[in-house]
A and B are shown apart, each in its own frame.
Chain A
Amino acid sequence: MKIRVDPDKCQGHARCYGLAPEIFDVDDYGQASVIVDEVPPELEEKARLAVANCPEYAIEIVSE
């Protein structure tokens, strides 16, 4: 699975980081980013949760 954060939509809620710090980081200014090239299978559920909890609809699954 590949996912990405749309930097124009992200407003720094940091919900993704709270749910899945193994997949996301958030910088000093609140900008989230994906820190893995490929989401390992055991973290796919967490990645989906992050998508479903982002208030800005900023996280998308690029490929499954």
Chain B
Amino acid sequence: MTHIAPVRDWASDFDVMDPRYLADPFSIWDELRRTCPIPHTDRRKSSWMPLRYDDVTAIAHDIEHFSSLKVAVIPGDEDEDPANFEGPNLEYGLPPISSDPPLHTWTRRLLLPWFSHQRVESYIPLTRELCRRLLDGFADDGHADAAADYAQQIPVRVIAQILGVSPDLSDTFTGWVRDVLEFADDAERRQHGAEGLLNYFIEQLEYRRQNPGDDLLSELLRTEVDGQPVDDGIVLGMAALVLIAGVDTTWSAIGSSLWHLATHPDDRKRMVAEPELWPTAVEELLRAYSPVTMAREVTQDFEYSGCPMKAGDKVLMNFPAANRDPEAFEHPEMVQLDRAHNRHVAFGSGIHRCAGSNLARMELQVALEEWLERIPDFSVAKGSEITWAGGQVRGPRILPVVFG
């Protein structure tokens, strides 16, 4: 672990990897929203962090001043030179997430149909079957690690299916993605994850060029844009993005939601008794425990809301904090499973709205439904320590629960 110097002033020297922030960012946001709603830090790189709903959504829509070329919360080599982003052959980064129009526009159009609500409905049976198989593995044990034994196992396998790669490698994929996102502060691990992932996809793309199937990778290889095949580096970036974005994020949302249900028996009982609440409950859990923060880069010296932003500064788009803003949500600290008014931005806002949001929402609902169907009564194991990951993606990594 990289050593984190203690934060003395959250307004001018914040650190999203600080242990206190990882464990409880909520109280820090609440305090800052009142005193300094766009704190700054010079740690790692000059960075701003909007915490109010209106600021986060306004900046997300201002693509002229805020570029998406560098979206990593923890700056890496790509902040020196985008061509370094996560290893070899990625001169375009991970489009569409780490791109601006026009590259963003057409690469996003290639991905969206794979995650349309119609397509996502067709993935429900395999997701349900997968959840049931995982539950079969530990339901009789009386205890499990809800994060590692369950939440972590689901999205990676669904994404592997969509990409057409082997679900047997799920643990390896998970390891690479964690290295890139969770352990980004450790240059060696980050590099290791990026290389593993990219070399795997380079091999897979070569194989699929000879042996095309009906999977997303093969489709990207077949696609022509303006009569030309898509550049290899773009296909590689898109393939890597689908895996990176589809694993840690949804797994974190499932884990946080199970943590909530484990620690709030009334909500747990309510969901068992009133399953018709799932559509609003899923949105509310996404609001309250939004996992993802994405970065933007300031394109030119520019004053935003009194903050003297400089070209090259990072802006950490704190969607999780926006979703806890009392100006935008009544009693944001309370989880209200039937919350009627909920314009949450867990999936972002503007042109970079998460392309996989339909899939994430479906996986979250199916995973929670199946868990409660099999294990309606559970709580956090006494004396156990829950580990939370944070930075780019927040969620529990170790969540020991006991049943009954």
Interface residues of A (CB under 8 A from B): 11-15, 17-19, 26-30, 49, 52-57
Contact = CB atoms under 8 A, between A and B. Distances in A.
A33 to B, nearest CB: 13
A30 B357 CA distance: 10
B113 A14 contact: no
B299 interface: no
Q: Which 8 A-B pairs have the closest CB atoms?
A: A28-B113, A11-B353, A52-B341, A28-B116, A55-B343, A29-B112, A55-B345, A53-B342
Given A11-B350, A12-B357, A30-B116, 12 more contacts: A11-B349, A11-B351, A11-B353, A12-B112, A13-B353, A13-B357, A18-B361, A27-B116, A28-B118, A28-B119, A56-B349, A57-B343
B117 A14 contact: yes
Nearest to A45: B340
Nearest to A49: B340
B275 interface: no
A19 B117 CA distance: 13
16 contacts: A11-B349, A14-B117, A14-B357, A14-B358, A26-B116, A27-B116, A28-B113, A28-B118, A30-B112, A52-B340, A52-B342, A54-B343, A55-B57, A55-B344, A56-B350, A57-B343
A55 B340 CA distance: 13
Contacts of B116: 26-30
A55 B352 CA distance: 13
Nearest to A56: B349
Nearest to B342: A53
Contact of B343 (A17, A27, A28, A52): A52
B145 interface: no
A40 B94 CA distance: 44
Nearest to B279: A18
Nearest to B114: A28
A19 B279 contact: yes
A26 B345 CA distance: 18
B363 interface: no
Interface of B: 57, 109, 112-113, 116-119, 279, 283, 340-345, 347, 349-351, 353, 357-358, 361
Contacts of B349: 11, 55-56
Contacts of A14: 117, 357-358
Given A11-B349, A53-B283, A56-B349, A17 B117 contact: yes
Given A14-B357, A15-B283, A29-B109, A53 B343 contact: yes
A16 to B, nearest CB: 11
A29 B357 CA distance: 12
Contacts of A57: 343
A12 B350 CA distance: 9
A23 B351 CA distance: 24
Contacts of A17: 117
A36 B281 CA distance: 27
B265 to A, nearest CB: 27
Contacts of A49: 340
B341 A53 contact: yes
A2 to B, nearest CB: 22
Contacts of B351: 11
Contacts of B345: 55
A52 B330 CA distance: 13
A57 to B, nearest CB: 8
B305 to A, nearest CB: 20
B348 to A, nearest CB: 8
A19 B281 CA distance: 12
A11 B347 CA distance: 11
A29 B353 contact: no
Contacts of A30: 112, 116, 353
A14 to B, nearest CB: 6
Contacts of B119: 28
B55 to A, nearest CB: 15
Contacts of B343: 52-55, 57
Nearest to A29: B112
Nearest to A13: B353
B79 to A, nearest CB: 27
Nearest to A52: B341
Nearest to B350: A11
Contacts of A26: 116-117
